Amino acid sequence: MRRPFIAGNWKMNLDRAGAVELASAIAAKAADYGHVELAVFPPTIYIEAVRDAVAGTPLGYGAQNVYFEPKGAFTGETSTAMLIDLGCDYVILGHSERRHILGETDAEVNQKVHAALAAKLVPIVCVGELLAEREAGTTGDVIRRQFDGSLAGLSAEQMQQVVIAYEPVWAIGTGKVATPEQAEEVHKDLRKIMADRYNITVAEAVRIQYGGSVKASNAAEILAQENVDGALVGGASLQADEFLGIVACVSR
Ligand code: PGA
pLDDT tens, residue by residue, 183-201: 999 999 999 999 999 999 9
- Per annotation, catalytic residue among 37, 95, 133, 187: 95
Q: Identify the CATH number of the domain defined by range 5-247.
A: 3.20.20.70
pLDDT digits (tens, 9 = 90+) for 227-244: 999 999 999 999 999 999
pLDDT digits (tens, 9 = 90+) for 115-173: 999 999 999 999 999 999 999 999 999 999 999 999 999 999 999 999 999 999 999 99
Q: CB neighbours of 140 closer than 8 A, spacing ≥ 6?
A: 186, 189
Active site residue 167: yes
pTM: 0.98
Residue 68: band (very low, low, confident or very high) from pLDDT cuts 50, 70, 90: very high
How much is the mean pLDDT over the chain?
97
Its sign, for the CA torsion 207, 210, 216, 221, is negative
**Helix locations, the chain, DSSP H:** 16-30, 47-54, 80-85, 96-100, 106-118, 131-135, 139-150, 156-159, 180-197, 200-205, 219-223, 240-247
* Rounded (10°) angle between helices 47-54 and 16-30: 30
CA of 8 to the centre of ligand 1 (A): 9
- Per annotation, catalytic residue among 37, 108, 133, 167: 167
Cβ-based neighbour number of residue 128 at 10 Å:
28
Active site residue 157: no
Atom of ligand 1 at shortest distance to CA of 233? 3
Atom of ligand 1 at shortest distance to CA of 165? 9
pLDDT digits (tens, 9 = 90+) for 104-118: 999 999 999 999 999
pLDDT at 78 over 90: yes
Cα–Cα dist 152/117, whole Å: 13
Which pLDDT belongs to residue 144?
Answer: 98
Q: Pocket around ligand 1: residues whose beta carbon is below 6 Å from it?
A: 9, 167, 172-173, 211-214, 232-236
Burial class for 130, CB neighbours closer than 10 Å (0-12, 13-18, 19+)? middle
Which of 223, 236, 237 lies closest to 187 in space, CA to CA? Answer: 223
Atom of ligand 1 at shortest distance to CA of 214? 3
CA of 99 to the centre of ligand 1 (A): 14
